[in-house]
Amino acid sequence: MSRDENSQHTKGEKVEVRSREINVLDFVKSRMKQIAELLEAVDNAELVVGEVTKGPRTALQRLPRHMRRRAMSYNVKRLPRSQRRFALAVTKASKHRKKAPSRFWRRRPCNLLREYIRRQRKNVWLETHIWHAKRFRMIEKYGYKLAVQSFQRSFRPSYRDSVRHCAVQDISFLNCFQITVEDRQWLISTLSVLFPPSASPTLAYKTSLNGTFEISSLLYEPGEYPRGFIGPVRFMWCKKKYLFSNIYCSDTSYSLLVWSHPSTSGSILKHFTELLNLSRSGNSTSDENSSAKFVSRWNSRTCFSYKDALYIADSGKCSVITDEEISLHPRLVITQLLDLREQFVRIRMYGPKSMAVLEEVLHVVDETDIGSEWMNAFRHLFFCLFYGDFGEFPNGLVLYLLVSDPRVSRPARKCKPTEKRGVRRFPFDLEALPGSVIDFWDAEKRKSVYTLQHLNYNCVMEPAYGNYPTANITDLCDRFKKTTYPVLESRISVEELQKRRSNNLATGSISSCKIPILLVTRNMGSGTTKTSTGVDLVVPAGFGLDFWLALQYGTARAVGLRDQKFFGFESGLFHFPSDVPDCDSGIKEMKEDHRQLSHKYLSRPYNRRVQFRSTLFVKYPFSFAWPVLVRDWNENEISKTSNSKSVYVLRDRKCLDAVDKWIRGKAAVLDAHSCSLVPVQVEAKKRGRPLRYCLICIPTEDDLYLWDIPSNAISENTEGCKRAQNPEETNNPFKAMSSEADGEKGFIELSGNEKLVSLNEMFPDKEILKIRKKNALKRRRRQRAKLAKRQKFENQELSTKDGEETSREIRVATSTSAVEKSYRESCSRSIIGRIVRGEYSFSSAKGRGIGYCSLLSLKNVRNGKVLFRNTTSKYYHFGKLSILSEPVIL
């Protein structure tokens, strides 16, 4: 286009010309905020040239990049002098974590002890904790750190040793209470409301009065029997003759020693103080102000301190007895209760070789070094137990022995106990055994050690408990006060012991340290192989690790809580408190198990969860819901608002015998105790292994018809098991096939189910395939987000609700049924009970389980024939039901 044409075109049209000027004031006002931010970032005199940043700056960032060094981060002198003042101020105000102290500093005895005490604020350690923590899985339970199972695969070896050799477990978490009174009959009558005579032995049990036996019993809430079960205990009587620390007693006083589980010790102590009208005393046997610098001294300072101190009361009023009142009333009748928790170390040994291992480990003081006849009597019985058959001796027999320091005679390597063959068995008279009139339960005497040069004294003997002699403990205590010294602070050190071992070729057995111990025999259980048979070793606190290591060198296998439960299961005994549904501690533990299992179940993806309700018809997969089951079987007598307190376990021995006879068809049915649960044992007839939460059901007529047929398990369905119409076909299930079936064998039908297949699906286009994959990925992301949202909602709902008494498990089991069935009829067979402890039994070589059934439901059981089904299986197995009459033991 020429210039003339362009001018003509411009003349013909109106062209808008932009202004070459702007209003600076308006322009800056509209952009004032952006300009301020720019100036703050760029025109900052404190910034390094060429760097733009925001927020607080460190001293190192104030330098140019080429001047920065890594050493400046921890050495201020590496910075320029102009920046050092600022760097010092910033370093002091910094909140960085200080450098951890060196390992050598942390492993010093005083620092190590301080760290151990800090870690025991929440859960107490046993004396063998460090030994177990290196070899066992530890959990926090009952306020203690306890060993559960070994890191090694030792399940079968532990059972094998418990049956043939010896297994050992530290049960020092059991608590001990000592009640001292002058009138024993008054104490028995006062505490009789806690010991129902129909369920277990009472304090007036004739065998226990002389103090030679430790008896297992059951405690109930006062006036609430058969409900209100507290827990099992072990008690022993002891006769004492000495003066208390600041309380005057008569010439003869009696002590009751009660061992309890830590989950029930608070409730038991509360009932004792209320029934005996006791109050907390201000006396204390420990020096709280003394500081310990070493672990051994800290043990000696704390192991003899009474945790809940002293409870004292007179015969009339509840008050703290002072020295002035004792001087005014010299004949005041005193009741004293001592909380002796953590004052003793109790080690439980399982197996027939327990006494053989103890004979190798313990070195009893010789007869020439003992000047008392009652000590010689216990020593004589100890060797009788070793050389005789262990099953001949009664359960709960108590032996008092005086042994040497087990560290001195400990071998350098593990060695099995030698077989004592051809040795003449020593005769003994059990009735002539002295009672427990010893000073073992006195804290002042446990602090002392017996020396060889002071053991040869003439003990004053006087008749008591019949025709056999007992020791005058008053004379013994007077002599001990003059001749003894503290054990833990004066016993031989580890360094001196190692020097002695290096100088001597043979292991020495002579030591000036003599330790009093107790041995309690155990011989009970209802299993074919009694894994509960063994010995309990009780030693004073502070010596637990020494005896434990000696037992390990004696080839005793260490076990944990898991093995303890299995040993009780093999013996037909319930484990307390996890298998007991009618006590507070048992209910609490079952709720904790329900919470953990529900959380684990909800943590799985939705399509990977077991469909308990819709597929397996299990209404309560993670709990037992005993009140609901009993209410379904007895709707008229139990209200719908009943809780766990209304259901109780039947422990009356006469009633259990009557139910057992009814199951075997030898007596009439029991009409009383309709709200109770009966302890039962289910043994698999053919195949199957009942586990915890397993269902015990009543078989139908068709199921009973197949009882003697070697068939597989019965599947869960609503129609039941189909039975053949011809009885001959049932008797011959493996009948030969007909000729027509033989002729058609191997023939393939040509006119099968045909299906059209698209070629586009067989050979898809690449672009279409890419779009499909992208859409599938988006779909999976949406589903994942939806499941995460649903799981978060369910977890919040689970934390706010209890879960066991509500319908929480129906939501967990993904219930979609319109009609809600009762617990009893939730599956195709009527549920009568559940299994609380079950596994494959090594002793019977078949599946076996112990649990509880509703008493009213047992009326429908014929000759003990039942079905059992696990919660994760759809198959029923035949089982034989029997009644368990063994009580819960500690």
Top-confidence residue, 432 or 630: 630
Residue 135: CATH number of its domain: 3.30.1360.120
For residue range 627-684, what is the model confidence (pLDDT) as tens digits?
999 999 987 555 444 555 688 999 999 999 989 888 887 777 777 888 899 999 999 9
Neighbours of 571 (CB within 10 A): 22
Stretch 129-152: mean pLDDT: 95
Q: Does the pLDDT at position 113 exceed 60?
A: yes
Confidence of residue 485 (pLDDT cuts 50, 70, 90): very low
Give yes or no: residues 207 and 128 share one domain. Answer: no
Q: Does the pLDDT at position 619 exceed 70?
A: yes
Residue 76 lies in a domain: yes
Residue 781 lies in a domain: no
CA distance 426 to 91: 81
Neighbours of 546 (CB within 10 A): 20
For 265, the domain range is: 175-281+300-315+331-341
Top-confidence residue, 671 or 553: 553
Helix axes 354-361, 544-553, angle to 10 degrees: 110
Give yes or no: residues 614 and 668 share one domain. Answer: yes
What does the mean pLDDT of the chain come to? 76
Q: What integer pLDDT is reported at residue 183 of this predicted model?
A: 85
Q: What integer pLDDT is reported at residue 467 of this predicted model?
A: 31
Q: What integer pLDDT is reported at residue 513 of this predicted model?
A: 75
Q: Does the pLDDT at position 383 exceed 50?
A: yes
Confidence of residue 547 (pLDDT cuts 50, 70, 90): very high
- Work out whether the CA dihedral 39, 43, 47, 53 comes out positive or negative: positive
Q: What integer pLDDT is reported at residue 389 of this predicted model?
A: 61
**Cis bond leading into 80, ω under 30°?**
no
Q: What integer pLDDT is reported at residue 173 of this predicted model?
A: 95
Domain final position from 524, 550, 571: 571
For residue range 12-32, what is the model confidence (pLDDT) as tens digits?
455 566 677 888 888 888 888
Residue 799 lies in a domain: no
Global confidence as pTM:
0.74
Residue 488 lies in a domain: yes
Residue 381 lies in a domain: yes
Residue 646 lies in a domain: yes
Closest CA to 613 of 818, 368, 395, 330: 818
What is 100-136 written as a DSSP string?
Answer: PPPHHHHTSHHHHHHHHHHHTSSSBPPTTHHHHHTTE
Give yes or no: residues 133 and 246 share one domain. Answer: no
Give yes or no: residues 402 and 534 share one domain. Answer: yes
Neighbours of 144 (CB within 10 A): 18
For residue range 169-197, what is the model confidence (pLDDT) as tens digits?
999 999 999 998 888 899 999 999 999 99
Q: What integer pLDDT is reported at residue 724 of this predicted model?
A: 36
- Starting at the earlier edge strand, list the strands of the sheet with 344-350: 398-404, 514-522, 534-540, 344-350, 167-170, 557-558
Give yes or no: residues 588 and 640 share one domain. Answer: yes
Q: What integer pLDDT is reported at residue 476 of this predicted model?
A: 31
Number of domains in the chain: 4
Give yes or no: residues 609 and 554 share one domain. Answer: no
Top-confidence residue, 186 or 417: 186
Confidence of residue 106 (pLDDT cuts 50, 70, 90): confident
The answer to whether 417 and 360 are in contact (CB under 8 A) is yes
Give the whole-number percent of the chain exceeding pLDDT 90: 32
Q: Does the pLDDT at position 161 exceed 90?
A: yes
Distance from the Cα of residue 622 to its chain's centroid: 18
Among 194-203, 599-608, 724-733, 762-771, which stretch is predicted with the lowest mean pLDDT?
Answer: 724-733
Give yes or no: residues 400 and 519 share one domain. Answer: yes
Give yes or no: residues 194 and 154 share one domain. Answer: no
For residue range 222-281, what is the model confidence (pLDDT) as tens digits?
999 999 999 999 999 987 654 333 344 455 788 899 999 999 999 999 999 999 888 776
For residue range 802-853, what is the model confidence (pLDDT) as tens digits?
444 444 444 444 444 435 788 999 998 999 999 999 999 999 999 999 999 9
Give yes or no: residues 665 and 601 share one domain. Answer: yes
Residue 690: CATH number of its domain: 2.40.30.110
Residue 698 lies in a domain: yes
Stretch 717-745: mean pLDDT: 44
CA distance 645 to 641: 11
For residue range 763-773, what is the model confidence (pLDDT) as tens digits?
778 888 888 88
Give yes or no: residues 165 and 203 share one domain. Answer: no
The answer to whether 223 and 193 are in contact (CB under 8 A) is yes
The answer to whether 652 and 199 are in contact (CB under 8 A) is yes
Give yes or no: residues 180 and 157 share one domain. Answer: no
Give yes or no: residues 498 and 437 share one domain. Answer: yes
CA distance 204 to 704: 48
Residue 565 lies in a domain: yes
